[in-house]
Each structure stands twice: as structure tokens, then as C-alpha cells.
């Protein structure tokens, strides 16, 4: 049986194997309301040359994974007619087995992008894409079609029908328009009735392809004049967003750093220390120029007190070989308080201000706003040299001042007040 005609029936599924003999060369299953095809419906080793499936309902099926291998058994096929199937998209590899395909008809469908790979159809001579929703063929499609023409021997003309689509003429589709113009003589790639094609311009004007050369010239002038504007506009937009992102990042830089180091602690399981069980009572944040005062008075008095305060100092308690920022973040996190010894040197030190700002973030975001940052103002502190955010904190929170060196009684009171701070839990 060389030919089978079953058109004009109601066959909703082609899923019964054995109906079509291997030797059959022509099968017409058009106009059958069919929406599903089983791979086994076509016998292995089939000699089929023509398959007519037009006028069915195969659109959704051909766009699904279930259709990926339905043509696996009919690799000798020359003509495949799929017009009028409500096709809007197709599985990209569905036609790959049909390497000997000569005529592919996808007309009268709803295709807006041609996503199937065409480069393997080295024998293709007719591609009918008329009456779809195509605005243009993309660069991959063009490359595939040119590969078909240039790679086969002997050379044979490739016919393409794009009539009655929604073709667009604009700067974005210039490559497509130039491609058609290059082949308008029809000697190698022929566009069926090219002079009867129309396209829509950005202002919705209908343009006729009988003047395709003038259309291309017109848009070349427009696009070349718009190119500097587009480039400058793009640079402006990128710069604007960069400034916005930089501004936001700068404003919330300490919160960002705090969350960064908090996340690192979580992954290192350092965040298991509860608020009621800190490793240190206080972390001392001070400038190196103030180390004699800090070591000889503050550190000495706290560690020699009968209450046994545990003090964290960078010069002895930071882990060697570890990034400074990591050491600071952990020291603040595992200390109940952070004592900042504020001096002119402190305000000019990057790492001192880093410790202060990170301690503030810890207080606000991890300690529920409890007073865990204590400021100790030395005689060299000048309010006019301090950052605005620093002054606002001083205005809203209590602080200690270091008494003059010749006032011994004031020193004793100062030390006792300092110790009393660390007795209470924040």
C-alpha cells in the first residue's frame, strides 16, 4: 500500500500502531481534529515521503515534551505539511530527525518566533511560513538558512514564503530587512512574492516591499542619527542607577557590613553565644596613641577588680593571621559591652571608627537597642571634629568623661562609675 488517505474524518488521537505499513510513501491525515500522535503510530524503518497533517489541532502537542520523538521513525520524509494547526511554538528538536526534508509547510498558524533549528535540513528547498505572526526572522534563523544554501552541493535555490505576517520595519529589524534586500533578485534564496510583502513602521505606517531598497535607506539614516542618542541615553541610565546604588550602599554601609559578618558567624557557628553568656564583659575600642592610658588605668583597674571583669583587647585577644574586620566583628559579638575611648586620634582612625560603627549596628540590630556601646570622652576630643552621626549619639545617650590628671578623687569616682556599668546586664 503506497498511499493512504484518511482526511476529513474525526480522528482525535493517532495512537494505534500497525495501521500504516512500512512501505507506504504518502499519508494524508488532514482535517481530522487530531491533537495527539504516538511515536509508535509510524512504523520503524518507514519509507514515507509525504505526511499531510494540515488542518488539525496539534499546536499544544507539538510545543510539549511529549512530541520530541514522534518523527523518529520517518527519517526519510521529504514533505511535511503542518499548516492550520494553531501552532504557536514547537519543541526545538522535534524536526531534527528529518534530515532529508525538502518541503516544510508551517503556514496559517500562530507562530511569532521561529525557535526550531533549521541548519540540519541540508536538502530543504521550500519553507512556507505565510499567515503567521512573525515580525522578523532572528539572526539564528538567518544563519541557519544561509548555511542550508551554501553548504549543499549541487547548489539549489531555497524558497521562503513570509507573506501575510506582521513584519516590522524598524532600527531593531534592520539586519532582517538588509538580508531580504540582499537576496531580492531570487537567484539563491527566493522570497515568494517579495514585492507584495508589507511591514509596519514604528509610527504604524504600512510600508510596501516593492520599495524595499528605499525602506532600508530610510531606516539606515534614521538609525544612524539615533545611535549616538541611544548610546548616551544608555550611559546616562547606567550612571544614574550606579549613583543610586552607590548612594544606598554608602548610606547603609554599616548595616550591610554588619549583616555580612553576622552571616559569616552563622556559617562558622559562632552565633550560638546567647546574650546571657558572653565570653567577655567588655571589648576595648581605642586608638593606639591612647594605649598607655587604656592599658595602665582602664585595663588594669577592670582586670584587677575583685569582680574579675573579662576584657577583650585587640593587641592580645585577636586571632593572628585572621582578617582584622573579622576579628573586630567577633570581638564585638562575644562581648557584653563595647567601650569606645574617644579622642582626636580615635576620630581620625579608620579602624577605630569601624569598630564604633559596627558596635552601633550590633546594638541596634542584634541587641534590641539596649545600651551596649559606652562612650568615654578624653580631653583631646573636639565636638567640631566629630561626624554628625557621632554627635547625635552623644546628644541622646549618656557618656563618661576622663577627669584631669591632677584630680585623684575624680579619678577614683570615674573608675568606680566605669566598673558599675559592667556589673549590670544590658
The answer to whether residue 278 is domain-embedded is yes
More confident residue, 405 or 178: 178
Looking at the structure, do residues 292 and 408 belong to the same domain, yes or no? yes
In a domain, 183, yes or no: no
> 237-251, 375-389, 393-407: lowest mean pLDDT where?
237-251
Question: Which pLDDT tens digit goes with each residue over 333-372?
Answer: 899 999 999 999 999 999 998 898 888 888 887 777 788 8
Higher per-residue pLDDT: 139 or 238:
139
**Does residue 278 share a domain with residue 149?**
no
Per-residue pLDDT for 231 more than 70? no
Does 292 lie in the same domain as 419?
A: yes
Of the candidates 131, 166, 201, which is a domain's last residue? 166
pLDDT in tens, 156-167: 789 999 999 999
Q: What pLDDT, on a 0 to 100 scale, did the predictor assign at position 261?
A: 53
Residues 32 and 162 in one domain: yes
- The arithmetic mean of pLDDT across residues 183-189, rounded, is 85
CATH number at residue 161: 3.80.10.10
Q: Is residue 244 included in any domain, yes or no?
A: no
How many domains, in total, are found in the chain? Answer: 2
Q: What share of the chain in percent tops pLDDT 70? A: 89
> pLDDT tens digits for 389-404?
788 888 888 788 888 8
Residues 297 and 158 in one domain: no
pLDDT score recorded for residue 215: 92
Of the pLDDT bands very low, low, confident and very high (cuts 50, 70, 90), residue 233 is: low
Report pLDDT for 360: 86
Look at residue 251 in the predicted model and tell me its pLDDT.
59
Q: What is the pLDDT of residues 295-339, one digit of tens each?
A: 988 999 899 988 889 999 999 999 988 888 889 988 998 999 999
Same domain flag for 162 and 299: no
Q: Of 166, 193, 213, which closes a domain?
A: 166
Domain boundary among 143, 166, 189: 166
Highest mean pLDDT among 93-107, 226-240, 263-277: 93-107
Average pLDDT over residues 104-113: 95
Whether 386 maps to a domain, the answer reads: yes
Task: Say if residue 84's pLDDT is above 90.
Answer: yes
Mean pLDDT of 106-122: 90
Are 161 and 287 within one domain? no
pLDDT at 257: 57
- The per-residue pLDDT for 174 is 93
| Full-model pTM | 0.56
Whether residue 149 lies inside any domain: the answer is yes
Give the percent of the chain with pLDDT over 90: 48
What pLDDT was estimated at residue 111?
95
Over residues 111-133, mean pLDDT: 91
Mean pLDDT score of the chain: 86
Q: Is the residue at 196 inside a domain?
A: no
For residue 230, what pLDDT is reported? 62
List the domain range (segments joined by +) for residue 408. Answer: 274-423
Residues 157 and 281 both lie in one domain: no
* 253-288 pLDDT tens trace: 555 655 555 555 543 444 444 444 789 999 999 999
Would 185 be classed as within a structural domain? no
Minimum mean pLDDT among 148-157, 250-259, 377-386: which range? 250-259
Pick from 96-100, 148-152, 160-164, 222-226 the range whose average pLDDT is largest.
Answer: 160-164
β-sheet with 373-377: strand ranges across? 311-312, 280-285, 335-342, 373-377, 400-401
For the chain, give the secondary structure using H, E and C: CCEEECCCCCCCEECCCCCCCCCCCEEECCCCCCCEECHHHCCCCCCCCEEECCCCCCHHHHCCHHHCCCCCCCCCCCEEECCCCCCCCCCCCCCCCCCCCCEEECCCCCCCCCCCCCCCCCCCCEEECCCCCCCCCCHHHHHHHHHHHHHCCCCCCEEEECCCCCCECCHHHHHHHHHHHHCCCCCCEEECCHHHCEEECCCCCEEEHHHHHHHHHHHHHHHHHHHHHHHHHHHHHHHHHHHHHHHHHHHCHHHHHHHHHHHHHHHCCCCCCCCCCCCEEEEEECCHHHHHHHHHHHHHHHHCCCCCCCEECHHHHCCCCCCHHHHHHHHHHCEEEEEEEECHHHHCCHHHHHHHHHHHHHHHHHCCCCCCEEEEECCCCCHHHCCHHHHHHHHHCCCEECCCCCCHHHHHHHHHHHHHHHHCCC
**Domain containing 374 — which CATH number?**
3.40.50.10140
Residue 248 lies in a domain: no
Amino acid at each position: 500500500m503506497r498511499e493512504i488517505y484518511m482526511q476529513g474524518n474525526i480522528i482525535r488521537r493517532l495512537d494505534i500502531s500497525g495501521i500504516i505499513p512500512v512501505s507506504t510513501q504518502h499519508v494524508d491525515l488532514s482535517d481530522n481534529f487530531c491533537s495527539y500522535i504516538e511515536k509508535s503510530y509510524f512504523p520503524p524503518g518507514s519509507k514515507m515521503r509525504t505526511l499531510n497533517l494540515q488542518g488539525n489541532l496539534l499546536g499544544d502537542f507539538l510545543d510539549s515534551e511529549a512530541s520530541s520523538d514522534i518523527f523518529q521513525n520517518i527519517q526519510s520524509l521529504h514533505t511535511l505539511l503542518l499548516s492550520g494547526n494553531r501552532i504557536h511554538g514547537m519543541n526545538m528538536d522535534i524536526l531534527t530527525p528529518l534530515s532529508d526534508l525538502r518541503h516544510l509547510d508551517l503556514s496559517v498558524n500562530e507562530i511569532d518566533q521561529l525557535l526550531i533549528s533549521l541548519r540540519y535540513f541540508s536538502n530543504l528547498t521550500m519553507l512556507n511560513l505565510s499567515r503567521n505572526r512573525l515580525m522578523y526572522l532572528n539572526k539564528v534563523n538567518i544563519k541557519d538558512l544561509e548555511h542550508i544554501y551554501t553548504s549543499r552541493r549541487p547548489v539549489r535555490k531555497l524558497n521562503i514564503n513570509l507573506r501575510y505576517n506582521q513584519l516590522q520595519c524598524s532600527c531593531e529589524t534592520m539586519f532582517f530587512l538588509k538580508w531580504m534586500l540582499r537576496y531580492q533578485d531570487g537567484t539563491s534564496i527566493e522570497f515568494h512574492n517579495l514585492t507584495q510583502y508589507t511591514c509596519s513602521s514604528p509610527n504604524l505606517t504600512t510600508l510596501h516591499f516593492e520599495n524595499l531598497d528605499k525602506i532600508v535607506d530610510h531606516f539606515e539614516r534614521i538609525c544612524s542619527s539615533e545611535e549616538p542618542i541611544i548610546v548616551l541615553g544608555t550611559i546616562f541610565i547606567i550612571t544614574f542607577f550606579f549613583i543610586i546604588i552607590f548612594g544606598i550602599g554608602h548610606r547603609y554601609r554599616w548595616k550591610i557590613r554588619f549583616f555580612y559578618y553576622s552571616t559569616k558567624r552563622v556559617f562558622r557557628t559562632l552565633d550560638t553565644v546567647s546574650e546571657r553568656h558572653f565570653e567577655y564583659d567588655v571589648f576595648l575600642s581605642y586608638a593606639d596613641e591612647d594605649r598607655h592610658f587604656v592599658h595602665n588605668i582602664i585595663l588594669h583597674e577592670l582586670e584587677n577588680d575583685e569582680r574579675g571583669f573579662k576584657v577583650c583587647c585587640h593587641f592580645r585577644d585577636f586571632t593572628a593571621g585572621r582578617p582584622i574586620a573579622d576579628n573586630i566583628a567577633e570581638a564585638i559579638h562575644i562581648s557584653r559591652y563595647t567601650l569606645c575611648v574617644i579622642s582626636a586620634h580615635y576620630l581620625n582612625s579608620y579602624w577605630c571608627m569601624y569598630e564604633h560603627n559596627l558596635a552601633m549596628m550590633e546594638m541596634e540590630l542584634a541587641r534590641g537597642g539596649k545600651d551596649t556601646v559606652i562612650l568615654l570622652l578624653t580631653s583631646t576630643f573636639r565636638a567640631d571634629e566629630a561626624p554628625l552621626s557621632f554627635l547625635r549619639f552623644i546628644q541622646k545617650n549618656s557618656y563618661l568623661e576622663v577627669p584631669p590628671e591632677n584630680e585623684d578623687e575624680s579619678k577614683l569616682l570615674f573608675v568606680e562609675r566605669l566598673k558599675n556599668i559592667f556589673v549590670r546586664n544590658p
